[in-house]
Amino acid sequence: MKSDKSENRFFETNLKDTLNMPFNSGNITLMLCSEGSSVVSIDFKERPFCKGDLAVVPDTMTLIPLESSEGFQAMVISVSPENCEEMEYKITDNLFWDFMCSHPVLHPDDTQYEMLKEWFGQMRWMMDNCCEKYLNKAISSSICTFFMMLYSELESVIEKSESDDLNTGRVGRLMSDFNSLVSRYHKKHREVSYYADMLSITPDYLNKLVKSQWKMSAKEYIDWQAVMAIKEYLTATDMPVKMIAIDMHYDDSSYMCRFFRKMTGMSPTEFREQNKKTDCP
């Protein structure tokens, strides 16, 4: 890879070496997950990022990887803002850019995913082999073509979101409110119906929204928050497991332990010991 030619780069990553650190460093980042799953923060909002997903993060938004599974792998294209000027000049639809800012993680279908893999491969070849004289122009043209195709694919989705109840603004507000409520109350309330009532919508409708936006059920998201909280107790405190269960409002610690093992594949004690070993030099 001839990354010394410009600020533009192609690379593959498992994110392990970049956890909890800003990832895009002032460049526009395109990331395609080819294996595994992870959690990323985009503008300080946590989002699942799984196999087949595409992240499109502009230079004005901060991307921070928070965790990644064993076997996680992603292809990354990092492009300087200067190489996106042609694209920004040709695509002037504010609805498109608003939609992209609200949906930085997209979920392509199988056909779209295969096409994206080919395009990422073409960009890699270009960055490795194109002579310096033509490289920036070639990248600018390819990025412009990519976003124009993305715009074409999303145009009907954006129009639909403006015309029916699942409009971008309403969905964005509901998802933001749901995320805030779960972050605040997941230690005590882990039923979908509780949050649906708080949002004045039905549990089925809440599940539909969460599925469409985050590719998981509302219950899966609530449980994920609960697991993250338990992990925080286990790694940041010396609280006994029984006390953690009380603080998390579980009926008994054995239920919490079964839940934690189901979600992570290990008991709370095993996780705590493994984390201690990992932290040791």
Buried b (16+ CB within 10 A) or exposed e, 237-252: eeeebeebbeebebee
Alpha helices in the chain (DSSP H): 85-90, 94-102, 110-129, 132-163, 168-185, 192-199, 203-214, 218-236, 241-247, 253-264, 268-279
- CB–CB of 29/9 below 8 Å? no
Distance CA 32, CA 159 (A): 25
Whether 48 shows a pLDDT value over 70: the answer reads yes
Report pLDDT digits (tens) over 197-241.
999 999 999 998 888 877 789 999 999 889 988 988 998 899 999
Report pLDDT digits (tens) over 128-143.
998 888 888 899 999 9
Report pLDDT digits (tens) over 133-173.
888 889 999 999 999 999 988 877 776 555 554 445 677 77
Query: Three-class SS of residue 1?
Result: coil
